[in-house]
Amino acid sequence: MTEENGDRHLTLQKEHVQRVIPNISLILTACAACIGGAFQYGYNISIVNSPTMYVMRFINQTWMERYNTEISEQLLTLFWSIIVSVFTIGGLVGSCVGGPLSIKYGRKGALLINNIFALLAAVSVGISYFSHFFELLIVARFLSGINAGVGMCVQILYLTEIAPRALRGALAMSTSIFLTGGIFIGQVVGLQELLGREEYWPILLSTTCIPAAAQLLTLPWFPESPRYLLIDKGNESACDKALKQLHGVNKYVKEKADIEKERLEALGVKPKKPWELFLDQRLRWQLLTIIVLNIFHQLNGINAIYFYTSYVFAESGIPEDKILYVALGTGLSEFFTAVIGGLLIESLGRKALIIGGYSLMTVWCFALTLTLTFQEASPWVPYLSMACVFAFILSFGLGPGSGVTGTLNSELFTQTVRPAACMIGLSVNWLSFFIISIVFPFVVGGLKQYCFLVFSAVCVTVAVYTFFVVPETKNKTFLEIHEEFQSKRKRKIQVTGENVLSTSL
């Protein structure tokens, strides 16, 4: 009897390990999707910082060739600001286009088509340099923005839909891992020892074609989203084939059953348009949740932290020419915290990571306000400021920066609503990114280090909202998550109805 119990226990352990460890094909599929999505996005954000002075010199040179006079400093700054900020406008456009593309061409098809924008952006940089037509740099950055917007929108859909329920959060966190990896690689490639010299800046800005080419070579070998194949296209045989390739012949049955339940629920329902979500009262709390999380993902102070990084490092005695190398530590910190977040998300859950991350960020905002205020009080205070900077970045990486926000964008909705919901969530995110890039210098200029008190209030607000409103989605089907929101809504309606009835009596 004891031997039988022992054998049964070993069998259960083996089954648990099989459920937890993903199929190698699933991991490779996620890598192929992320290399042209999240990695490309992070890489684009990072590489534009290194050649700032060289590009401005190129604009001035071109201006002199055309008009035999130097460009004014104000106009030069304006052109550079447009080159940098138009990326966010492109991202906003891309996030709006991503949903319709994913419905018409499929998640995998939309990701492959999206690489056209990255290749065109790289070509535009080359033409701009050789033709001395600097305006094409604006076009290139806009196209790169569209590529990033579409890639982030569709990639989240794709990863969420191909992942088994028990690994959905962990797989979706690969978005954050590749994004921070892209930022770090961009920082490294932009160093003087590699492509950070003046003569290499066109090559540096054109290297965005490499991730695009990598995705075009790898992603076609992997399947389309099984959910899209069965629910949207009604192609059961293609769905079965995709599930077997992603999860293995012996483990795909349970996933097929979940998809089948969702298909029956969605019978006769067409994919919703974004504006239809705002009119559907049943989706009010889900929609409000992704809007809140995406707005505050950009307004939580992380941009202020990076703004103060160089100042804090300089005050700590680090030579100016070495600050760039020390700043690599911030990128590396974000990458490692993204990896840790990916390992923790299925054990701690999404809710704990968001609340914990924002709570810690609140603490570090207060601490950094104090250390920056008393920066000159003692020689060791700048080192405390540096510690607060890294602590804030680590907390952001484990919380909102870990990819949990993107995961919830897709997890809170069922198949017919998900593309439109991701469009709304990411459009809000990109719009907030654009607004903070314009308003942020004035906020810092006016409030100085006390701006972190505002950001601490923001972090507290998100933590409290998440605690009371957002359900834990770990290891739940999309229908179960949807039903949990609906049950909350029904309870609220019942309570409201009882109050109205008692008042009338």
- Domain residue ranges of the chain, discontinuous segments joined by +: 23-222, 276-491
User: Minimal CA–CA distance to 157: which of 415, 345, 372?
Assistant: 415
pLDDT attached to residue 424: 92
Grade residue 8 by pLDDT with cuts at 50, 70 and 90. very low
Q: How far is it, in rounded angstroms, from Cα 79 to Cα 72?
A: 11
pLDDT attached to residue 359: 94
Q: Is the pLDDT of residue 380 over 80?
A: yes
Grade residue 274 by pLDDT with cuts at 50, 70 and 90. confident
481 or 148, which is more confident?
A: 148
User: Minimal CA–CA distance to 328: which of 49, 116, 91, 24?
Assistant: 49
**What's the angle, vertex CA 470, arms to CA 293 and CA 158, rounded to 5?**
65
pLDDT attached to residue 125: 94
pLDDT attached to residue 13: 43
Token pair listed for 59: 């604009």
Q: Is the pLDDT of residue 7 over 60?
A: no
Token pair listed for 63: 């201006």
| 276-491 to CATH, choices 2.40.30.30, 3.10.20.30, 1.20.970.10, 1.20.1250.20 | 1.20.1250.20
| Helix boundaries (H) for 316-417 | 323-348, 350-373, 381-398, 404-411
Tell me the average pLDDT across 276-291: 90
User: 28-63 burial, b for 16+ CB within 10 Å, e for fewer?
Assistant: ebbbbbbbbbbbbbbbbbbbbebbeebbbebbbebb
Q: How many CA atoms lie within 13 A of 487 on its CB side?
A: 7
Token pair listed for 293: 């999380």
| pLDDT mean across residues, the chain | 85
pLDDT attached to residue 498: 53
| Helix boundaries (H) for 21-51 | 24-35, 38-47
Grade residue 316 by pLDDT with cuts at 50, 70 and 90. low
Q: How far is it, in rounded angstroms, from Cα 293 to Cα 100?
A: 23
N- to C-terminal Cα distance for the chain?
Answer: 66
**pLDDT tens-place string over residues 28-37:** 999 999 999 9
Q: How far is it, in rounded angstroms, from Cα 403 to Cα 297?
A: 10
Q: Does domain 23-222 have CATH number 3.40.50.300?
A: no
User: Minimal CA–CA distance to 455: which of 317, 363, 352, 333?
Assistant: 363
Count CB atoms within 10 A of the CB of residue 2.
6
User: Minimal CA–CA distance to 283: which of 496, 492, 488, 485?
Assistant: 485
Q: Is 188 left (phi over 0), alpha (psi -120 to 50) or beta?
A: alpha
Highest mean pLDDT out of 137-151, 192-206, 379-393, 472-486: 137-151
Tell me the average pLDDT across 229-236: 90
Q: Is the pLDDT of residue 501 over 50?
A: no
Token pair listed for 15: 């089954």
Q: For the chain, what percent of residues have pLDDT higher than 90?
A: 37
Tell me the average pLDDT across 412-441: 86
Least confident of 70-79, 123-132, 194-203: 70-79
Grade residue 72 by pLDDT with cuts at 50, 70 and 90. confident
Do the Cβ atoms of 429 and 297 come closer than 8 Å?
yes
Grade residue 342 by pLDDT with cuts at 50, 70 and 90. confident
Count CB atoms within 10 A of the CB of residue 411.
26
pLDDT attached to residue 415: 84
Least confident of 216-220, 275-279, 301-305, 380-384: 301-305
Tell me the average pLDDT across 160-180: 86
Do the Cβ atoms of 140 and 205 come closer than 8 Å?
yes
Grade residue 393 by pLDDT with cuts at 50, 70 and 90. confident
Grade residue 468 by pLDDT with cuts at 50, 70 and 90. very high
Q: For the chain, what percent of residues have pLDDT higher than 70?
A: 90
Asked whether the domain spanning 276-491 has the same topology as the one spanning 23-222, the reply is yes
pLDDT attached to residue 208: 93
Do the Cβ atoms of 297 and 431 come closer than 8 Å?
no
Grade residue 71 by pLDDT with cuts at 50, 70 and 90. confident
pLDDT attached to residue 85: 84
Do the Cβ atoms of 79 and 136 come closer than 8 Å?
no
pLDDT attached to residue 410: 85
Q: How far is it, in rounded angstroms, from Cα 161 to Cα 168?
A: 8
Q: How far is it, in rounded angstroms, from Cα 433 to Cα 439?
A: 10
Classified as helix, coil or strand, 292 is helix
User: Minimal CA–CA distance to 49: which of 151, 217, 184?
Assistant: 184
